[in-house]
Homo-oligomer: A and B are copies of this chain.
Amino acid sequence: MQAIRTAMAAMHQRSEAIPPVSPAVESLVRQVIAQVADKWTMLVLEALEEHGTLRFTEVGRIVGGISQKMLTKTLREMERDGLVVRTVHPVIPPHVDYTLTELGRELSAAFCGVWTWAETYYAEVSAARKAFREREEA
């Protein structure tokens, strides 16, 4: 068990990989990645990219299967990170709409490759899963 403790301690040390960038930047980039590499964020990004400015319920309808709670949370975090602009029209009933910022549009473009990958290879992923299942059943 001492062995494991040692291994774990080593794991929590700084990675010695990717020397060109500083550890501080590394850490920040990882933080940003972790926040942004989220299912709902990707879906909302897509919806806004495709449809331009949308209202709260419209985003929910287009994304599909998201609860109000998660929609609010996701949108707020995206606003906080500067990915969307939230515009409140002080009327009753309330009217709020969301638009991608330049930063958001850039991120959406960056994710484009992942969407394309998924569309291109989902059949292969399915096949790999099937093969894996059969292999472990045996």
Which residues of A are interface residues toward B (Cβ below 8 A)? 4, 7-8, 10-18, 21, 25, 28-30, 32-34, 36-39, 42-43, 47, 50-51, 57, 60-68, 79-82, 103, 106-107, 109-122, 124-129, 131-132
A118 to chain B, nearest CB (A): 5
Q: 25 A-B residue contacts at CB 8 Å?
A: A7-B60, A7-B68, A10-B57, A11-B57, A11-B66, A12-B65, A13-B61, A13-B64, A16-B62, A17-B47, A28-B122, A32-B125, A37-B38, A37-B42, A37-B114, A82-B124, A82-B127, A82-B129, A103-B124, A103-B125, A106-B117, A106-B121, A107-B121, A113-B113, A114-B114
